[in-house]
Amino acid sequence: MNRDWIATARTLSEALPYLQRYSGAIVVVKFGGNAMGDEAAMAEFARDVVLMRQVGLNPVVVHGGGPMINDLLSRLGIKSEFVRGKRVTDKATVEVVEMVLTGLVNKRIVQAIMDEGGRAVGLSGKDDDLMVCVADDPELGFVGRPVEMNVQVLRDLFTAGIIPVVAPVATGMDPNETFNVNGDTAAGAIAAALKADRLLLLTDVPGVKDESGEVVTQLTPEQVRDMTERGVISGGMIPKTETALKAIEDGVRAVVILDGRLPNASLLELFTEHGAGSIIRSTEPRVKPRRA
């Protein structure tokens, strides 16, 4: 008998405790980075999400789309201003953001999921007042911070067997306002409002690294704060770990920062003993399954 077949069967058998563990669980996945621009990577991600739904999980996909936004702004000749290294999102820019995220990127992901046999519906934070924001920093314009979450629409989609795909565009306290929301921030807020079992932040790095450059597979919030104070966690990893800490504080059971370029990264994290990336959680994990 083919040894590859035997290995595949063994892998499926070993996944059983994890399949049982996550049955009915809510998992929010932030999808972004280089994988969004690669058709093969997009199809693989979509297949992973469909499999999650097929085995009883309730996945929610939250996506970004920075490179596509930058490309269209450039083609339209809209110049960006920056304050402390952050883009100012004026009215013209937020219109482009909404157009790209809700009209282009969102529908590509929905179609990819449907192509793999799943059912998906695309929506933004503006739909059914899913996400209501205030300005995070007035100097940055229409960059939003979620202050009200209404996630019943997501629960309704779970009940119907549909995978929600959410673009991080939100309404303001004034319904005529539109805000651009950082994708990680939006994913964290949605995960917290749903009291999700897992928030998976797919990035272009393997996880949180220690002083020696090795990925730390398991961390507590206290360790994350200590590593940040000592400068071990720095740069672009800081906002991701800040999102993780706030999500855990607000009721998410655990957050995982992992490399979305790794084939089947989400499945490795959820359904294998060794997991993937860096998991941040408040309590010590049980021995079996490792990431319960």
Question: What's the CATH code of the domain at 43?
Answer: 3.40.1160.10
**Tens digit of pLDDT for each residue in 69-86?**
888 988 999 887 877 767
Q: Which residues of 183-198 are buried (b: 16+ CB within 10 A; e: fewer)?
A: bbbbbbbbbbbbebbb
pTM of this prediction?
A: 0.90
Dihedral of CA 36/40/43/44: which sign? negative
pLDDT of residue 35: 62
Query: What percent of the chain stands above pLDDT 70?
Result: 89
Residue span of the structural domain in which 47 resides: 17-281
pLDDT of residue 38: 79
Burial class (CB in 10 A: 0-12, 13-18, 19+), 119: middle
Domain assignment of residue 173, yes or no: yes
Domain assignment of residue 10, yes or no: no
**Does pLDDT of 182 surpass 70?**
yes
Helix, strand and coil content of the chain, in percent to the nearest 5, comes to 45, 25, 35
Our count of domains for the chain comes to: 1
The rounded mean pLDDT for the chain is 88
- The larger pLDDT score, comparing residue 95 to residue 66, is at 95
Other Cβ atoms less than 10 A from the Cβ of 267: the count is 19
**Tens digit of pLDDT for each residue in 1-30?**
556 655 666 666 676 677 777 788 999 999
**Tens digit of pLDDT for each residue in 245-291?**
999 999 999 999 999 888 888 988 888 877 788 999 986 544 344 44
pLDDT of residue 68: 87
Write the single-letter amino acid at 121.
V
Domain assignment of residue 95, yes or no: yes
**Tens digit of pLDDT for each residue in 200-230?**
999 988 999 999 989 999 999 999 999 999 9
pLDDT of residue 95: 93
pLDDT of residue 135: 94
| 37: alpha, beta or left? (left if phi > 0; alpha if psi -120 to 50) | alpha
Domain assignment of residue 231, yes or no: yes
Domain assignment of residue 238, yes or no: yes
DSSP 128: G
Query: What percent of the chain stands above pLDDT 90?
Result: 64
